[in-house]
């Protein structure tokens, strides 16, 4: 039967955990469909990591080693991956949904005239292959069926366990010419995050507001007094920061700060994945939202279905009264 | 500069979503639509270039049924010069690659210096179209761009990575930039702009006009959408605002935080 090609990803010289998770999905599909798994490792120095990967993957592990692959570059990556695709002729290409994966995977799909499905968190290989992913920011799930192959699919990091198998794989270096001068997108640098004026990660109590607040003035009127009464700090979801109501340093989520306070109050936040990733480690979560179906209630310890403009001021008043 | 902006019209973020009769998408009747949030930032990035260089032309393109004209009119009201409405059932029924082929052919006909798109859509969340269009149009691209500066035909883009890191890349026009939300502050259409927009052209195009008729068979298709089974549900507090507040205070005391 056909091949499944796993595109691994190096981070600081090591293959990411997410690549071993891809391997778990690849093996599950291979077992159900009678496919074989092969992989590719691309980077500057790849030999040791390719050997390590082969010991868990089995099958051939192709390598493309080139100094221009040290930092992510879409043109260089596409050239290297194309070489592995030519070798493996895969039915299915699996990629992690990471900042590099989501950048090159659709481009590879278009180059190969292949189907594309992204950010999957599960598969169903019992019948025709189906990918499961979220849509509408987590409000709905979708089952996406493959109509024709090849297909390129990206997977959410953390969606499954990393593959821990022992296997006897082989490493094969591919000779790929990459013309550094012909790269159209040029890597300049990676900038580390700047020191934050507010460190939400150390806060014991965080009161966060979402898009439902409607404006910066409402944060001052409604959210800040509650945070102050509790001796906590103010946080926010991404739309609030995007709209400029609060500075970026207040953002809780995968692209902001990942927090783990003793108490997290989420007011008017629907609970998109990107926010939940940043706050699900809180010890106690109170969610206030007018939509009873909001995904935030799935991670909350206590929920209030109602109008935050009534509930939050009432809570502020009650806390002040309790403190005397 | 000649600038192409792709806009998708999506269900309003506060719209109530109900699964359609065939189970493959939501019911579109009786809900409000809006410009995809990411795309409104893409449009703003284009209009900023036009602010600096009045000779620039901003062309907005959208695909979908008659309702998307409203999104195009809004973009024209904000300052875009003209609009292309791709209106064809075969385009609406295709997958990401089919739509990308269609849009790449719009680009091949218009030959823009830069294409701005949103990094992903608020409804499908695929984040697929932008790199595909760049590949098929034969230009470089950058995704998840949260800051952009331009010097002539050279763009310096900052891409959002994990953990707050930013990857800085340089690319030259012609190119495609897929923007992240928050890259700028999106303007509102002025009354004058809205009046002027009524006179601006909206050109309808079919799959045949764009040379993609018969090439749009979907390679992947949503077979079912559904509200995910709740893994856990919070205990929901009932009562008046004051009663709920009292219960919350009791809980916060119990946690030793008051």
Residue pairs spanning A and B at CB distance below 8 A: 263
pLDDT score of A196:
67
- Residue A324 confidence class, pLDDT cut points 50, 70, 90: confident
Q: How far is B237 from chain A (nearest CA, A)?
A: 5
The CATH number of A3-182 is: 3.40.50.620
Domain parsing of chain A, residue ranges: 3-182, 200-323
Choosing among 1.10.490.10, 3.40.50.10800, 3.40.50.510, 3.40.50.1220, the CATH entry for A200-323 is 3.40.50.1220
- Mean per-residue pLDDT, A69-78: 96
Looking at every residue in chain A, the average pLDDT score rounds to: 95
Q: Return d(Cα B115, Cα B5) in angstroms, integer.
A: 6
pLDDT tens digits, one per residue of A217-227: 999 999 999 99
What is chain B's Cα-based Rg?
A: 21
HSE at residue A37, side-chain half, CA atoms within 13 A, is 26
Q: Return d(Cα A163, Cα A240) in angstroms, integer.
A: 38
A29 versus A1: the higher-pLDDT residue is A29
Q: Which of A107, A263, A294, A322 to mutate to test the interface with B (most CBs of B within 10 A)?
A: A107
- Residue A304 confidence class, pLDDT cut points 50, 70, 90: very high
DSSP string, chain B: -EEEEE--EEE-TTPPP-B-TTSSSB--TT--EEE-HHHHHHHHHHHHHHHH-TT-EEEEEEESSTTHHHHHHHHHHHT--EEEEE--HHHHHS-HHHHHHHHHHHHHHH--SEEEEESS-TTT----HHHHHHHHHT--EEEEEEEEEEETTEEEEEEE-GGG-EEEEEEESSEEEEEPTTSS-PPPPPHHHHHHHTTS-EEEE-TTTTT-TT----SEEEEEEEPPPPS--PEEP-S-HHHHHHHHHHHHHHTT--
Give the nearest partner residue to B252 out of A109, A263, A317, using CB atoms.
Answer: A263
By three-state DSSP, how is residue A270 classified?
coil
Of A238, A261, A239, A263, the residue nearest A251 (C-alpha)? A238
A53 versus B162: the higher-pLDDT residue is A53
Look at A184 and B172 and tell me if their CB atoms are within 8 Å. yes
pLDDT score of B61:
98
User: Considering only CB atoms, which chain B residues are within 8 Å of A185?
Assistant: 140-142, 169-171
Q: Return d(Cα A271, Cα A119) in angstroms, integer.
A: 17
Look at B258 and A230 and tell me if their CB atoms are within 8 Å. yes
pLDDT tens digits, one per residue of B234-254: 899 999 999 999 999 999 999
pLDDT score of B230:
74
- Mean per-residue pLDDT, A237-244: 93
Instruction: Determine the residue of chain A that is closest to B155 in CA distance.
Output: A185
The CATH number of B2-205 is: 3.40.50.620
pLDDT tens digits, one per residue of A173-185: 999 999 999 999 9
Tokens of A52: 């390590």
Give the nearest partner residue to A322 out of B130, B220, B258, using CB atoms.
Answer: B258
Task: Please identify every stretch of chain B with a pLDDT value under 70, giving residue numbers as ranges.
Answer: 231
User: Considering only CB atoms, which chain B residues are within 8 Å of A133?
Assistant: 125
User: Considering only CB atoms, which chain A residues are within 8 Å of B161?
Assistant: 99, 190
Tokens of B4: 């192409």
User: Considering only CB atoms, which chain B residues are within 8 Å of A182?
Assistant: none
pLDDT tens digits, one per residue of A179-212: 999 999 999 999 988 766 788 999 999 999 999 9
pLDDT tens digits, one per residue of A131-147: 999 999 888 999 999 99
Give the nearest partner residue to B255 out of A133, A284, A323, using CB atoms.
Answer: A284
pLDDT score of A153:
98
Whether B22 and chain A come into contact, CB under 8 Å, resolves to no
Look at B235 and A301 and tell me if their CB atoms are within 8 Å. yes
pLDDT score of A197:
75
């Amino acid at each position: 039967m056909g091949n499944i090609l796993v595109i691994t990803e190096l981070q600081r010289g090591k293959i990411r955990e997410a690549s071993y998770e891809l391997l778990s999905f690849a093996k599950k599909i291979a077992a159900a469909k009678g496919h074989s798994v092969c992989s590719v490792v691309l980077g500057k120095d790849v030999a040791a990591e390719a050997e390590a990967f082969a010991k868990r993957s089995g099958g051939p592990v192709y390598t493309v080693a080139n100094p221009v692959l040290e930092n992510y570059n879409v043109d260089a990556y596409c050239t290297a991956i194309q070489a592995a695709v030519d070798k493996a002729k895969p039915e299915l290409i699996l990629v992690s949904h990471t900042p590099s994966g989501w950048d090159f995977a659709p481009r590879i799909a278009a180059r190969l005239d292949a189907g594309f499905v992204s950010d999957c968190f599960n598969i169903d290989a019992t019948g025709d292959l189906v990918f499961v992913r979220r849509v509408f920011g987590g409000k709905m799930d979708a089952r996406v069926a493959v109509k024709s192959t090849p297909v390129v699919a990206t997977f959410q990091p953390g969606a499954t366990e990393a593959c821990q198998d022992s296997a006897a794989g082989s490493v094969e270096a591919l000779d790929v010419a990459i013309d550094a001068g012909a790269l159209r997108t040029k890597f300049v640098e990676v900038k580390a995050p700047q020191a934050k004026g507010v460190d939400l990660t150390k806060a014991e109590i965080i009161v966060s507001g979402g898009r439902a607040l409607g404006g910066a003035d409402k944060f001052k009127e409604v959210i800040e007094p509650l945070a102050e009464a509790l001796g906590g700090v103010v946080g926010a979801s991404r739309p609030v920061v995007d709209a400029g109501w609060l500075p970026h340093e207040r953002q809780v989520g995968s692209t902001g700060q990942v927090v783990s306070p003793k108490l997290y109050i989420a007011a008017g936040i629907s609970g998109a994945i990107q926010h939940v990733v940043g706050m699900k480690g809180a010890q106690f979560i109170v969610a206030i939202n007018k939509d009873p179906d909001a995904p935030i209630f799935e991670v909350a310890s206590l929920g209030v279905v109602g109008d935050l403009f009534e509930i939050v001021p009432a809570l502020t008043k009650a806390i002040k009264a309790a403190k005397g | 500069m000649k600038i192409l902006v792709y806009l998708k019209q999506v269900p309003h973020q506060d719209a109530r979503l109900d699964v359609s009769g065939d189970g493959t998408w939501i019911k579109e009747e009786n809900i409000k639509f809006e410009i995809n949030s990411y795309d409104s930032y893409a449009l703003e990035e284009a209009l900023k270039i036009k602010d600096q260089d009045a000779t620039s032309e901003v062309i907005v393109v959208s695909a979908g049924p008659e309702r998307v004209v409203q999104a195009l009119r809004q973009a024209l009201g904000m300052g875009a010069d003209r609009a292309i409405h791709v209106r064809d059932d075969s385009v609406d029924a295709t997958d990401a690659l089919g739509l990308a082929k269609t849009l790449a052919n719009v680009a091949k006909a218009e030959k823009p210096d830069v294409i701005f798109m949103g990094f992903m859509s608020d409804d499908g969340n695929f984040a697929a179209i932008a790199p595909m269009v760049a590949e098929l149009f034969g230009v470089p691209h950058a995704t998840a761009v949260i800051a952009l500066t331009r010097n002539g035909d050279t763009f310096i883009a900052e891409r959002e990575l994990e953990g707050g890191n930013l990857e800085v890349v340089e690319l030259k026009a012609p190119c495609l930039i897929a923007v992240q939300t928050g890259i700028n502050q999106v303007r509102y259409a002025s009354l004058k702009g809205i009046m002027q927009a009524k006179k601006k052209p909206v050109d309808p195009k079919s799959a045949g006009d764009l040379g993609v008729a018969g090439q749009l068979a979907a390679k992947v298709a949503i077979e079912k959408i559904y509200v995910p089974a709740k893994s856990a549900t919070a205990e929901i507090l009932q009562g008046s605002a004051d009663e709920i507040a009292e219960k919350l205070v009791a809980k916060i005391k119990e946690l030793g935080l008051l």
